[in-house]
Chains A and B, each alone.
Chain A
Amino acid sequence: MFSLSNVLYVRSNKTGNAVTRIDPRYAPTLATVGLFVAMLVVGAVRFPNFLSAQVFLNLLIDHSFLVVVAVGMTFVILSGGIDLSVGAVVALSMILSAKLLQQGWSPGLVIPLVLSIGFAFGTAQGLLIQYFDIQPFIATLAGMFLARGLCYVTSLDSIPIRDPFFTAMSQTRIGLLFIRTPDYHVYGQVIVPVSDAFVSPAVLIALVVVAIAFFFLHHTRFGRTVYAIGGNENSAVLMGLAVARTKVLVYAISGLCAATGGILWNLYSLSGFPLAGIGMELDAIAAVVVGGALLTGGYGYVLGSVVGVLILGLVQTFIAFDGTLSSWWTRIFIGTLLLIFILLQRLFSRKGFTVPGRRPVANVPVRPLDTPAALP
C-alpha cells in the first residue's frame, strides 16, 4: 500500500526533462529515519553488544514517558503553537498521584483524577491562547510556573509509592518470548542477565497512546483540522473548519499526555518528586523537531516524533556504552542534532518545496511562533 512511488514524484524541469523529486512532505521524516538507522549501524560497528534486542527495547522502557509527552507536543506543534508547560505538568501529576496514593486513595480513583487535571490544565491554557489572544509562548510559560508552583506546594520532598498496583506494574516484565538473546538489563547499578527480551507495561501503554494519536491525526476530521491550522490558519478559517475548538483541544491533549507521562514515570520510578521534568519540555521539542516536524506547524508525523525520542535515547546510550565521554555530552550532541535538522529544514524550504522551473508555489508559511495569524 505504501510504496516508493508514494515518496517520489516526477516533474519536468526547465529543460523539459523528467526529474524525480522526493515528495516534500516525507523528506524531513525520511531524514530522521535515515539518521536513526545510521546511528544503529554506527553503534553496532563500534560496540560489541550493541545490536541486541534488549538494548533497543531498553530505549523504549527508559523513555516511554517522554514518548507520550512528545506525542502531545506533536499535536501542539503541528497546529503552529508551542507548549512549555509539559515538564511541570508531568511533575505535578507525579507528585499528586504519589501524595494521594500515600494517603490511601485507590489507583482506580487517582489515575483518572490526575489525567483529568492534566486535561483541564491544558484546556485552560488553550482558552487563554485562543480567546484572549495571549501568545502560546507566554501562556504556557505562565502555566509552567503555576504547575511547578503547585508541585512545590504539594510536597517539597520526594514521595515514595508503595501502592500494590503500582508496585506490581512497575516490576512486571512482559516477555517477548519470540525473541531470545543473551542479554542484560541495567537495574540501577546492577547488571542482570536476561534471556528473554522484555518490555514494561508502560511501553505498551505508550505504544497505545501513539496508535491512538496516529489514528486521530490521520483518520479523523479533527486531526486533519490540526494539520490545516498549522498549514494556513486563515485558509482553515475561510474553509469553514472548527478552528477555535481545535486549537483549544490540542493544548488539552498536550496536558493530558503530560499527565499520562507523569503516571508512567510513577510506574518507572515508584516515586514522585517535585523537581521532576525540569527541562523535559525542551527534550520533547527537540524530539519533535528531530522527528521531522516544522516548528512553524503543518508538517510532521507522530511516528517521526517517536523516532526522535529514540534518537535522543540512542545518543544517551552511545555515551553510556562509550564510557569515556561524560554524560553531559548528551546535551551537546542533542543541540548539534537540532542544529543539523534546522539547517536541513532551511534548505528544504528554499528548494524542496518548489516545483522545478516555476516560481515558488505556496511556500511553507514563515510565521514566528509568537505571532498570531492575522485575518484578511
Chain B
Amino acid sequence: MNAVLATFMKRRMAWPLIALLLLLAADQIARPGFLSVRMQDGHLYGNVIDIIRNAAPIALIGLGMTLVIASRGIDLSVGAVVAIAGAISCNYIVNAPVQGSLSAALIGVVLAIVLGLVLGAWNGFLVSTVGIQPIIATLVLMVAGRGIAQLITSGQIITVHNDYYKAIGDGYVLTLPIPVLITAAAFILAGVLTRKTALGTLIEAIGINPIASRLAGLKARNIIWIVYVVSGLCATIAGLMITANVTAADANNGGLFIELDAILAVVLGGTSLRGGKYSLLGTVVGAFVLSTLTTTVYNFGIPANENLVFEAPVVIAVCLLQSPKTMELWQRWRRSSQLQAKGITV
C-alpha cells in the first residue's frame, strides 16, 4: 500500500486531485446534499453538473494551451480570440437575413472557426518561422485582438436571438449540457490524435530537448505551427460556447483573464511551464479544481466579490507544493529529523 501511495504522490497530478477531493468533501460537509444530482425537465441538475459545465470552456482552452506549453511555448492571445469569435459570429447572425435561422447560426459558427484558425496560424507563423519568443509573439494578438473584436462589434454589445446558436452554450443533449459534450469530444479527439499519431510524442520531444530533436532529424517548424493553430481553434470554440451561453458578444469582457485561468489549469494539472511531458487529463483536473474552487467559495456563503481572495492562496499553495524546491526542503527536513532521531546532530 505504501508503495502505491508513494508512486501516486510522485505524480504531479497528485496534489490537484487531492485538493479537488478535499474541496468537494468540505462542500459536502458544509452543505449536505451538495454532491447530489437530480433529473429535472429531462436534464441533469446539481452543483456537480454546474462545476463541470463551468469548467468546460476553461478546460477546452486549456487543451490547446497544454499542447502549446508542452512544446515550450505559451499562448496569451486566447482571451482575445474568445472575444473575436463571439464578435464575428454574433455580428453575422444579427445581420443575417433571417436572424433566428439554422443557416445563420451555422454560417456564423463557420466564420468564427475560420477566423480562429487564421489567428492561430498567425501565431504559429510568428513563433516557428520568424522565430519570435512565444510570450512576445502572442502578446501582440492579446493587445490588438480586443481592438479587433471591438471593431467587429462597433463597440456595442451585440445580442442575438437564435435558438440554434444559443444551444451551443445552453442546450442539453442526452441529459448532458452541450458545452460539456463538446469539450469532452474535443479532449477525446485530441487524445486520439496525439496518441494515435506521433504528434504527442514529437511535441514532447521538442519540448524536452529541442537540440536532440533536431539532431534526430525532427523538423520542429510544422509541429509548432500545428499546436498554435489547435490553440486558436480551441479558443474559438470555447468563445462560441461562452458567447452562446449569454447570447451576447461583449468585446471588452468576453474571455477576460481566461488565458490566465487556462494556464493555471494546465500548470495545476502537472504540465510544466518549461515544456515537455504533458497531461491532457491533468488539465481537465486542473480546470475542475478551479471551477470547484469558485463553487466552494459560493457554497460557503462567501460573497461573490470575495472569491478571488480565497482562490489565489489555494493556487499559490498548489504551485508551492508542486515546486521541486519544496520537495528538496521536505527531504532535507526529513533527513535531518531522521538523523536527530538517531541522536546525530547536524
Contact = CB atoms under 8 A, between A and B. Distances in A.
Interface of A: 84, 128, 131-135, 137-139, 141-146, 148-150, 152-153, 156, 278, 282, 285-286, 289, 295-296, 326-336, 338-339, 342-343, 346, 366, 368-371
B121 to A, nearest CB: 15
Contact of B147 (A131, A134, A335, A371): A335
Given A152-B308, A368-B133, A342 B150 contact: no
A143 to B, nearest CB: 8
A286 B143 contact: yes
B132 A332 contact: no
Nearest to B313: A146
Contacts of B319: 134, 138-139, 142
B145 A134 contact: no
B151 A329 contact: yes
Contacts of B154: 326
B141 interface: yes
Given A329-B151, A371-B274, A149 B141 contact: no
A336 B139 CA distance: 11
A328 B151 contact: yes
Contacts, number: 135
**Interface SS, A side:** helix
A368 B274 CA distance: 9
B308 A145 contact: yes
10 contacts: A133-B324, A145-B260, A150-B309, A152-B305, A152-B308, A334-B147, A366-B133, A368-B135, A369-B133, A369-B135
Interface residues of B, number: 49
Contacts of B133: 295-296, 366, 368-369
A349 to B, nearest CB: 10
A264 to B, nearest CB: 23
Given A132-B320, A326-B155, A370-B135, A149 B306 contact: yes
B146 to A, nearest CB: 5
B118 to A, nearest CB: 16
A66 to B, nearest CB: 14
Interface string B126-143: 000011111111011111
Given A141-B264, A146-B313, A295 B135 contact: yes
Contact of A332 (B74, B130, B151): B151
Contacts of B148: 331-332
A131 B307 CA distance: 27
Nearest to B317: A142
A149 B151 contact: no
Contacts of A331: 143-148, 150
B320 A334 contact: no
Contacts of A332: 144, 147-148, 151
B323 interface: yes
A133 B137 CA distance: 25
A150 B312 CA distance: 10
A103 B24 CA distance: 40
B147 A146 contact: no
Contact of A328 (B139, B146, B306, B325): B146
A367 to B, nearest CB: 9
B150 A328 contact: yes
A134 B315 CA distance: 12
Interface in B6-60: none
A326 to B, nearest CB: 6
Contacts of B74: 370
A338 B132 contact: no
B281 interface: no
A260 B220 CA distance: 45
B132 A336 contact: no
Given A296-B133, A342-B132, A334 B305 contact: no
Contacts of A285: 139
A150 B310 CA distance: 10
A137 to B, nearest CB: 7
Nearest to B256: A278
Given A142-B315, A146-B309, A329-B151, 7 more contacts: A149-B312, A152-B305, A153-B309, A328-B146, A328-B150, A331-B144, A335-B141
Contacts of A144: 260
Contact of B140 (A84, A146, A326, A335): A335
B311 A149 contact: yes
Interface in B135-177: 135-137, 139-148, 150-151, 154-155
